[in-house]
Amino acid sequence: MNWIRKVFALISVFFVIPANTELTSNELKMFEDLATYVKSLEWKLNKVEKKLQNVENELEGQKELNRKLENELHAQRMILDLLQTNNDKLKQKGDIMEQQNESIKHFLEHITRSGDVDVNENMTKSSVRQTAQRHVGDINEIRVARQEREQVAFSAYLKHDLSNLGPGHTIQYGATVLNEGNALNVHTGIFTVPVSGVYFFSFACEDDHNHRIYADILVDGTRKSLILEGPVANAHSMGTNVVILRLTKGQAVWVAIDSWGHDGLLQNIATTFSGAFLYH
């Protein structure tokens, strides 16, 4: 490069020419040209530095713009996720409404065929829907009442010890831990069937006096199951049994001492009678 050669020539002149030597016109001209060229180089260098600074500024601005675009893109993604969630919820609501409309449609077809509702061409969709909804409400009330009636379960225990038990003696328990439906009379010990269906029963007797006791579970006086308790020397004795019965509304169920053996004393707490409605 020419400017490099000129710089080396100027340096060689400084080292070769003594300090007190006068320069020739050609040498002075060379120094002036070199000074002018150095100034031009400085100007070009400043210009390049300014361009580099502008590029750096533009690059920093582009980075800031990229950060803003990334933040905006993140915000857009959040909005899309929210819209998708809302869309899913609306779709679920739409499916529920469609199911409800389909149920009302089937209900209207059913009650129209059965003659429960007189649907004619003068009725509006609104009046038909209101009529159907009233019937649905009535059916729901009947269903709830039926479910409440079918919630039958009890568990009774002997409140006090019983002695001097004779044949046919009905065990009057006197206390319950549960009596859903209030179908068991805790004082008489008799369970009255509130709804026809299949029931589960369990009963137990305990004695600690080395005696023998037979007890029956009866339905309207007919024995359905039997337990035998005792004797066991110097120890508590206990008898238990379970039975599942299909019963009709109004029938009575209770536990009574059997005529085979009744020479003992029933212990409280552990002598129990339990039952529950299973299904129709």
pLDDT in tens, 162-218: 777 778 889 999 999 999 999 999 999 999 999 999 999 999 988 766 677 888 999
Quick one: 228 and 156 in the same domain? yes
Structural domain containing residue 187: 152-279
Quick one: 157 and 275 in the same domain? yes
Contact 231, 212 (CB under 8 A): yes
Average pLDDT score over residue span 91-109: 76
Three-state SS string over 129-143 comes to HHHHHHHHHHHHHHH
Task: Look at residues 244, 254, 249 and name the one whose alpha carbon lies nearest to residue 278.
Answer: 244
Average pLDDT score over residue span 20-46: 76
Number of domains in the chain: 2
User: Is the pLDDT at 254 greater than 90, yes or no?
Assistant: yes
Quick one: 75 and 162 in the same domain? no
The mean predicted confidence, pLDDT, of the chain is 78
Answer yes or no: is 147 within a domain. Answer: no
Instruction: Output the domain CATH number for residue 162.
Output: 2.60.120.40
Who's near 270: CB < 8 A, 6+ residues apart? 157, 158, 204, 206, 238
Average pLDDT score over residue span 2-13: 57
Tokens coding 101? 């409309």
Going across the sheet that includes 184-185, the strands are 184-185, 190-192, 252-262, 213-219, 222-229
Percent of the chain whose pLDDT exceeds 90: 27
| pLDDT for res 75 | 79
Locus of tokens 């035998």 = 228
Quick one: 171 and 251 in the same domain? yes
Answer yes or no: is 137 within a domain. Answer: no
Q: Please tell me what DSSP assigns to residue 233.
A: T
Q: Crossing angle of helices 25-114/2-16, nearest 10°?
A: 140
Quick one: 179 and 269 in the same domain? yes
| pLDDT for res 79 | 83
| pLDDT for res 276 | 96
Taking the C-alpha atoms of residue 238 and residue 274, their distance in angstroms, rounded to an integer, is 16
Answer yes or no: is 126 within a domain. Answer: no
User: Is the pLDDT at 59 greater than 80, yes or no?
Assistant: yes
